[in-house]
Amino acid sequence: MIRLKNPREIDGIRRSGRLLARALAALAAEAREGASTRDLDAFVRSYLSARGGRPSFLGYLDFPASVCISVNAEVIHGIPGTRRLRDGDLVSLDLGVDLDGYFSDAAVTVTIGRAPAERLRLLATTRECLERALAAARPGNRISDISRAVFDHASTNGYGVVQEYCGHGVGFAQHEDPQVPNYVGGGPNPRLKEGMVLAVEPMINAGTGDIELLDDGWTVVTADGADSAHFEHTVAITRTGMEILTRLE
């Protein structure tokens, strides 16, 4: 069931999203050569706590950390640990925030130091996939318009699209209906209407879209060992268009 949000509720999600955007920017600045992913997790947990927020991933379905940190061939759900970031790494930071019971979700992929050109191209294309998806997220369109925007741009550039994981509704909980795939399939295809709040999140691989799940039960990696990138925003569908709720101001 899709739960539409009224203006007061969207304002609550907006405040959550603004805190998330600031936290994610601060976290990205801490992601430098030599930093351990465990230290980054501790940083963002402290950052949110000091500002009245909570990392909504922590404990969700028993996830053991505050932020997903996925490096190079890791697609999503990387668990922070002793690994230290190296020059040239491609690092995806995926964060959820619960502020006063309102949930937001966003992700960004960054490079450490001087990354090779092929990683920069993957990064740019994945960001463009998100931009095109958001342009399609307007009232009267359907979920498939968002999905098609991602898939077509990634495929045109020779990249694989992850199909087993997707975007979703958000706001009152970490995950809500509807699902927002990054490809056009045969599933539900609701029309976008005022009051919908969605997390739109392209996950694009440098090789095929095929993935595997590691033995930790969380970390998703590319099946062929190719790099992956991930960008995400929480957005609200408004009467006149779309508002990004996790944009850094």
pLDDT digits (tens, 9 = 90+) for 102-114: 999 999 999 999 9
Domain ranges, residue 17: 7-244
pLDDT > 80? residue 167:
yes
How many helices and strands (H and E) does the chain possess? 4, 15
Does residue 78 form part of some domain?
Answer: yes
What residues form DSSP beta bridges with 111? Answer: 90
In the prediction, which pLDDT does 12 show? 98
Task: Give the pLDDT mean for 209-213.
Answer: 98
Could you tell me if residue 52 is inside a domain?
yes
Tell me whether residue 2 is in a domain. Answer: no
pLDDT at 92 over 90: yes
C-beta of residue 211 within 8 angstroms of C-beta of residue 166: no
pLDDT for residue 202 = 98
Residues 15-49 pLDDT 10s: 999 999 999 999 999 999 999 999 999 999 999 99
**CB 173, CB 103: distance < 8 Å:** yes
The mean pLDDT of 125-152, rounded to a whole number, is 98
pLDDT for 215 beyond 90: yes
Question: Cα–Cα distances in Å, from 160 out to 8, 88, 150, 189, 230?
Answer: 39, 21, 11, 22, 12
Tell me whether residue 108 is in a domain. yes
Mean of the pLDDT values across residues 211-239? Answer: 98
Structure-token pair, residue 11: 């304002």
Average pLDDT of the residues of the chain: 98
Residue 89 lies in a domain: yes
In the predicted model, is pLDDT for residue 245 greater than 90? yes
- 1 within some domain: no
Helix/strand/coil percentages in the chain, nearest 5: 30, 30, 40
**What predicted TM-score, i.e. pTM, was given to this entire model?**
0.97
Q: Using 50, 70 and 90 to split pLDDT, how confident is the model at 249?
A: confident
Q: Is residue 134 part of a domain?
A: yes
> Domain containing 154 — which CATH number?
3.90.230.10
CB-based burial label for 82 (10 Å; 0-12, 13-18, 19+): exposed
What total number of domains does the chain contain? Answer: 1
For residue 133, name the pLDDT band (cuts at 50, 70, 90): very high
Is 65 contained in some domain? yes
3 state DSSP class of 2: strand
